[in-house]
Chains A and B, each alone.
Chain A
């Protein structure tokens, strides 16, 4: 069944999926590569969209889709609760339930031909990475790509291969990585993401920010100081979700449902929402 058919049949019922590959990112985060039961892509998300993953006897939760292959989607998941702890313990070959894609996704039209800055902290790189990978795959459609990424420590950095090797080799792409406190093995920048952003002082451009709430808050403050435009600073939100289709009620911030109207919001949109997230 394709995603379109699922939407027609029943948006709340998952199809059967399979976790075909698991990559350990950090001590508490793994990336899961998921296909449908026939080894095909369960559905084709737009960058920034979400998917509902379930181990049916444990639970179901919404995750961002960090990348997609021809026949699979990837979700990077940190072990923090009942379902994610169970997922942390599964092995390759585990079957699952999967439904989606949900949410608005990143505004691709707005990105066309533009220089783009990506700012991420911790596991927040996962949603932004879907757009980074899209831009890399369609390199000619976009201008200069810049990534500023930080985590608490070297071992907390996710997608190390991408941030420390692959992306630096991409044509017209810069990657700046920082960790909160210095470590002996670490030769690159040390410090928090918001201060690194100010230090680099890159000229205002279309910017995507994602990370822990505290990092987002201070990064947005820094960007405003630096003259960035509210309509051109874009972020993603998280709330608890059950249905994913704007019916079950709980993921609202004001009148917006994050699952349906989000998860992607411009800073101007965010500023118009009640501060309740």
Chain B
């Protein structure tokens, strides 16, 4: 099997950077790890998954959609071409790869393709990294995900000790490995570093079906009472896709942007005139977990949680999805 020794990883990344914008997991401050373009000074981070998911590579937190000019009664609209430079997402974990599958369902199906997302997605190769360690908060295996084999990867990388083994999973992945073959070495008898047992186990069996009958359940009063609506869960969640559309104005010139939104905010569904179908935390918390565990299963055939554990680690009031699944499981109906 081909691979790259950890010692020579920088050489491979440099070579790839000639043809691609290569994103690697990196430490960007004392508390933040996220995917960054590979380059000088990047402090790569391989110990565990990044705090921020790489969803922003396909779906930036803020994105320009088009430009306009308004003057008197006239309006002009100028399109913006989404960036189509080829990219490699190097070292994405199985859970986050699965979240891209969720995002694909949202942005590329049901009659409309989102051109901004599509352009970025089609021009990005996924080099998935099998997990050889996990965080205390991980629970991907409970969500049916194999942490050492990513579903949509173009190349599957595995830690084999002093090297990463590289296995092409798609023709595009094969092509890039062939092209950069000179940077790779033949690994003799590679042994994938095994993953210790994951600590959190949640039982999803029957949870979506049970939620069908739990819209009016008192559980939502109980769990929502401690939510502070801070939006941490939605921004960290790799499958949260909601966005707002707004304008940035500079005199007559303006840019229409879209940016991540959060269903925990009261303005999110408040209509002109003031009516709000989800006026309190109860409706909003219920809607978020119903959306993750039931509504998206009905829309797209899959639950929108990949067990990455980011909300488990960072929700300031421990109102996270693993606990909710457990509570739904145990709820009397």
Which residues in A have some Cβ–Cβ distance to B below 8 Å?
Answer: 7, 9-16, 55-57, 59-61, 80-84, 90-91, 93-97, 213, 238-240, 242-243, 245-255, 260, 274, 276-277
Contact = CB atoms under 8 A, between A and B. Distances in A.
Nearest to B74: A95
Contacts of B107: 247
A90 B244 contact: no
A276 B277 contact: yes
A246 B113 CA distance: 10
A250 B287 CA distance: 10
Interface string B101-123: 00000110011111110000000
Contacts of A9: 79, 115
A272 to B, nearest CB: 10
A250 B245 contact: no
Interface in B19-58: none
B317 interface: no
A81 B115 contact: no
B294 interface: yes
Interface of B: 65-66, 68, 70, 73-77, 79, 106-107, 110-116, 215, 241-245, 247, 249, 254, 256, 258, 261, 263, 268-273, 275, 277-278, 283, 287, 290-291, 294-296, 298-299
A55 to B, nearest CB: 7
B81 to A, nearest CB: 10
A96 B270 contact: no
A90 to B, nearest CB: 7
A80 B278 contact: no
B112 A97 contact: no
Nearest to B298: A255
B242 A249 contact: yes
A247 B112 contact: yes
Given A56-B77, A245-B112, A276 B278 contact: yes
Contacts of B242: 248-250
Most buried by A among B77, B261, B273, B295: B77
Contacts of B114: 11-12, 245, 247
A90 B73 contact: yes
Contacts of B273: 80-81
B264 to A, nearest CB: 12
Given A56-B77, A84-B272, A255 B263 contact: no
B117 to A, nearest CB: 8
B254 A57 contact: yes
Given A55-B75, A56-B75, A57-B247, A249 B261 contact: yes
A56 B254 contact: yes
Contact of B110 (A239, A251, A260): A260
B61 to A, nearest CB: 15
Given A213-B275, A239-B269, A274-B215, 20 more contacts: A11-B113, A11-B114, A56-B254, A57-B70, A57-B254, A83-B272, A84-B272, A95-B74, A96-B75, A97-B68, A97-B75, A239-B271, A242-B245, A247-B114, A249-B242, A249-B261, A255-B296, A260-B110, A260-B111, A276-B278
B66 A13 contact: yes
Contacts of A97: 68, 75, 77
Given A57-B254, A276-B278, A246 B110 contact: yes
A56 B263 contact: no
28 contacts: A7-B112, A11-B115, A12-B116, A15-B77, A55-B75, A57-B249, A59-B247, A80-B272, A83-B272, A93-B73, A95-B75, A97-B77, A242-B245, A242-B261, A245-B112, A246-B111, A247-B106, A247-B114, A247-B241, A248-B258, A248-B261, A249-B261, A250-B263, A250-B268, A251-B269, A252-B291, A274-B215, A276-B277
Contacts of B269: 239-240, 250-251
Contacts of A260: 110-112
A247 B241 CA distance: 8
A83 B273 CA distance: 11
Given A57-B247, A252-B295, A13 B77 contact: yes
A248 B75 contact: no
Contact of A61 (B75, B77, B272): B272
A55 B245 CA distance: 13
A249 B283 contact: no
Given A248-B242, A249-B263, A277-B277, A12 B73 contact: no
B73 A243 contact: no
Given A12-B116, A248-B243, A255 B278 contact: no
A60 B110 CA distance: 23
Contacts of B271: 81, 238-240
A276 B245 contact: no
The 5 closest A-B pairs by CB, nearest first: A81-B272, A249-B242, A95-B75, A255-B295, A245-B112
Nearest to B66: A13
B272 A248 contact: no
A17 to B, nearest CB: 8
